[in-house]
Amino acid sequence: GALVYQYPRRTICKSGTSMRMECQAVGFQATSVAWYRQSPQKTFELIALSTVNSAIKYEQNFTQEKFPISHPNLSFSSMTVLNAYLEDRGLYLCGAKGLGAETLYFGSGTRLTVL
């Protein structure tokens, strides 16, 4: 079956520092990877959609300068939160899907706490 592993599960960083999270697809080819954030008491916001061999498309309010994403192959993607501040805390989820598919399979998330 389609599985998505995401790590780390939890991370704590000091305000102004950066942290990187990784996402690995197993059992299918992750042609597209979507990164979401769930802030406290909120729903999931799409940060960006990355498709192999295409430009990464960021949603409004999210930029490459703040959330650089790497998607080098069909099984791996990473995202970094640069200069994290309190408003960046939350649960970050990667969701991956195969070519032509619409169903996103999500990892377990990376919970970011900013001190």
* Residue ranges binding another protein (CB under 8 A): 6, 34, 36, 42-44, 46, 49, 57, 59, 91, 93, 95, 102-109, 111
Query: Least separation, in Å, of the C-beta of 46 and another protein?
Result: 4
Q: How far is the CB of 49 from another protein (least distance, A)?
A: 5
Reading the block at residue 66, the tokens are 């703040």
Taking the complex as a whole, the smallest distance from the CB of residue 66 to another protein amounts, in Å, to 18
CB environment 21-43: b (16+ within 10 A), e (fewer): bbbbbeebbbbbbbbbbeeeeee
